[in-house]
Structure 1
Amino acid sequence: MTGKKSIPYEGRHLHTQDLRVFKGVEAWVFDLDNTLYPIESDLFGQINSQIADYVAKLLDLNKEEAMAQQKAYYHKYGTTLRGLMTEHQVDPDDYLRHAHDIDYSTILPNPALGEQIASLPGRKFIFTNGDRPHAERTAAALGITDHFEDIFDIVAADLMPKPNRETYDMFLDRTGVSPVRAAMFEDLQKNLTVPHGLGMRTVLIIPKGTREVFQESWDLEREDESPVDFVTDDLAGFLKAVNGSI
């Protein structure tokens, strides 16, 4: 990825807000990248590099130029893929295969996380801007595949990424989830704005050992602080606390 920046988060940390607000939650919705696995695994860094290589080859650019163009598409269209489809008629399946042709060995099994997800009452979903094969491989590496009812990916969203409102509407329509009885876990604040507005409990995942919100500099260029209910740097530990409070 491009460089990350951090901003202080004067928000609500684990155990400083009443976790009983999760009582009545019937659907638990998890982002994938840098949420279900730690950011230091650098899986998304590999994806970003793959995308830059794809752009470089397609447009006959060097790596630096390709990353600049990738960034431009990201801001103009929401994702590099949408920009390439709009301006260069790229086949999305070809793009997604290349973007996710990465090494998953950096992901270690996380039985503690799996145990806590399994203990949550109700339905569980992965909701990702990546594609289903990537989500399936990642969940398998973590050892948590069997705990999820379904994966809602970028293809199911008609290639419309979060944080577009239409994407959440499609997810809710497909799954039948009631947002006021749901919770969503994400590593990007901007992707929690719509869920929070719909009445979901929202949890922001930040890097381990920090009390700051880390974001891509790409996002910080135009992002306002979004409302979130909880912030944690330990998803498994947070879920354990939730399970103990409901």
Structure 2
Amino acid sequence: MARDGAGDGASRASARAYVFDLDGTLYAIANGYEAACRRRVYEFMATRCAGVDDVAEARVVWEKWFKRYNQTLRALRHGAGYEFDAAEYWRFTRGDAREHLAPSADVRAFVESLPGGRENKYVFTNCNETQALEALEALGLRDCFADRVFGAGGMGECCKPEREAFEKFFAFCGVDVADASECVFFEDSLKNLRAAKEIFGMTTVLVAGETFYEETRDAKTDVADAAPSYVDLVPSYVDLVVHGGELTERAVSRALRDVPSAARCRVALGLDA
């Protein structure tokens, strides 16, 4: 995204905060990490949760409760009623991120291209902070966010897309809820983007990858036609759609060309309206 004064990020118009989901946003789910974590969840349940006899049964239980609670830890504890150590759960299920994640110069270039330096860049994830930081390290992005990572530990008994989770996040990053509309949210889940827009008025950017396709399958859409027909698939609470599951300068520029009326996004991203 070529800009005038692109080398002076702090001087360009910017958002109060650039907020990034982790899984499926800063890396594409198609790389296998998400699937590996899901398999480890089933293995954890089969070996740690009383009454779950095998991986097949674990999957059935998980599918029953996840849609209601939006986070596996809460689904298993509060929905299914299992008791286990949370720290052990996170260590086991997230595994070694380095087995699947690797640095992407293109993703890093996009994050660094956004105005305001590094102090207004945050990660907001339903993952635990320790494992989120490990993933960012594997992605070569940890220094882009430093300790500005808010996850399951900070949220406690809530998670995205609940209002309380967003309120706790804004408190964490020092943004008044009244100013949330000055923030940009990059996310691969429609549920979370809907809360961000409808409750807080954030500028919303959908990174349309596997999560988006899964969520639209429920509406019996043809996922093979998702990219060319996204206007029919994406709700009005999404301001910009970046297809292909990659958050890069090229992909975002292409998305802006597809929606030339997205003036709000252009201003928020430090571009001319």
Provide the TM-score with structure 1 as the length reference: 0.79
Per the TM alignment, residue 24 of structure 1 is displaced from its structure 2 partner at its CA by: 4.1
Match of 1:236 in 2: 248
Match of 1:154 in 2: 152
Q: Distance in 1 between matches of 2:106 and 2:112?
A: 10
Give the count of matched residue pairs.
Answer: 220
Match of 2:62 in 1: 70
Per the TM alignment, residue 94 of structure 1 is displaced from its structure 2 partner at its CA by: 1.8
1:126 pairs with 2:97: no
Paired residue type of 2:169:
F
Match of 1:52 in 2: 42
CA deviations 1:114-149 (Å, max 9, x no partner) are 122123123000100111122112211221111115
Paired residue type of 1:69:
V
What pairs with 1:66-215 in structure 2 (closer than 5 Å)?
A: 66-86=58-78, 87-122=81-116, 123-149=120-146, 150-177=148-175, 178-197=179-198, 198-207=200-209, 213-215=212-214
Q: Distance in 2 between matches of 1:133 and 1:116?
A: 24
Q: Does the Cα contact within 8 Å between 1:185 and 1:203 map onto a contact in 2?
A: yes
Match of 1:38 in 2: 28
Q: Could you say which structure has the larger radius of gyration? A: 2
Q: Does the Cα contact within 8 Å between 1:130 and 1:154 map onto a contact in 2?
A: yes
Structure 2 counterpart SS, 1:155: helix
Per the TM alignment, residue 90 of structure 1 is displaced from its structure 2 partner at its CA by: 2.4
Paired residue type of 2:238:
V
Q: Distance in 2 between matches of 1:116 and 1:69?
A: 39
Q: Does the Cα contact within 8 Å between 1:71 and 1:80 map onto a contact in 2?
A: no
Per the TM alignment, residue 169 of structure 1 is displaced from its structure 2 partner at its CA by: 0.7
Paired residue type of 1:214:
Y
Greater mean deviation of Cα atoms: 172-181 or 31-40: 172-181
Aligned-residue CA RMSD (Å): 2.7
Paired residue type of 2:208:
I
Per the TM alignment, residue 215 of structure 1 is displaced from its structure 2 partner at its CA by: 2.0
- % identical equivalent positions: 28
> Any gaps of 5 or more consecutive residues in structure 2?
2-11, 220-232, 257-265
Change (3 A) 1:133 1:229: same
Structure 1 counterpart SS, 2:23: coil
Change (3 A) 1:98 1:45: same
Paired residue type of 1:132:
E
> Any gaps of 5 or more consecutive residues in structure 1?
1-13, 15-21
Q: Does the Cα contact within 8 Å between 1:43 and 1:104 map onto a contact in 2?
A: no
Per the TM alignment, residue 56 of structure 1 is displaced from its structure 2 partner at its CA by: 1.3
Higher relative CO (Cα under 8 Å, sequence separation at least 6) belongs to 1
Per the TM alignment, residue 225 of structure 1 is displaced from its structure 2 partner at its CA by: 6.4
